[in-house]
Structure 1
Amino acid sequence: MDIKVFPLGPLETNCYVITNDNKAVVIDPGGDPTSLLNFFKKTGVELDCILNTHLHFDHIIGNAALVEATGKTIYAAESGLSLMETGLGDGSMIGVKVAPFESEHIKIGKTQIIGLECNVLSTPGHAPGSLTFYFPALETAFVGDLIFQRSIGRTDFPGGDLELLKKSVQENIFTLPEKTTLLSGHGPATSVGDEINHNPFFSSMQF
Structure 2
Amino acid sequence: MKIADYRREYTQSGLYRADLDTNPFQQFDRWFTQAIKSDYPDANAMTLATVSATGKPTQRTVLLKGYDSKGFVFFTNYDSGKGHDIAENDQVSLLFSWLQVERQIEISGTAVKLSSADSAEYFHSRPESSQLGAWASHQSQSIESREDLLKQLNEVTERFSGDTIPLPEHWGGYLVVPNTVEFWQGREGRLHDRFEYTLSDKEWHMKRLQP
TM-score range, shorter chain: under 0.3
* TM-score normalised by the chain length of structure 2: 0.26
* TM-score normalised by the chain length of structure 1: 0.26
Task: Decide which structure has greater helix share.
Answer: 2
Q: Which has the larger radius of gyration?
A: 2
